[in-house]
Amino acid sequence: MEEIRKAQIKNFIKKEFGIEIDDKYIEDYDQALTHNNDHRTKGTRKPERLAFLGDSYLEFIVRKYLYNHKDNINLGQMDLLKQELVGNKNGWQKIAEKIGLGEQMVYIQQNQPISRSFHSTKELARSFEALAGVLSYDCPNNAEEKLIALFVKHGYLQNRLEDALACYDKSGNV
């Protein structure tokens, strides 16, 4: 990996998460921000594996947040709220847009980098999940805290919870 790419990734993680990363996991961060456009159907690439891990990690963080901050709602409501927060990939895409994640993404087609200015909702959400996956093991002591701070800073948790609770109050369902 080129030094300029390493510096770009390190600066982005420092700016958005306040985390200093070293070279130990820099390749994983690069993979989290890489999309392959060859539509391979067999096998799983590392970015997809990181997104799989990150999806579970983000769900855990949201569950823990609800447990710690929403003691006035019952278990069924908590579960519905969790589904609203993590079941909708548009939420991760919106956070990815707010932090400029698309500017950090690299696209590979036939083993060659290509430039693209458009990023689909799915690509942005997947990259955010993959990034969370790397953070989960690179910074196990403070990744959760940093991600929650990011969610709060951008109004993700509070706005989505208020909307979901308002819908619940009106219909009895989220």
Kindly list the catalytic residues.
Answer: 55, 129
Instruction: Give yes or no for a contact between 117 and 111, defined as CB atoms under 8 angstroms apart.
Output: no
Instruction: Characterize the bridge pairing of strands 106-109 and 112-114.
Output: antiparallel
Q: Do 72 and 154 form a contact (C-beta atoms < 8 A)? A: no
**162 membership: H or E segment, kind and range:** helix 156-171
Distance between CA atoms of residues 42 and 173, nearest Å = 40
Task: Note whether 35 and 114 are within 8 A (CB).
Answer: no
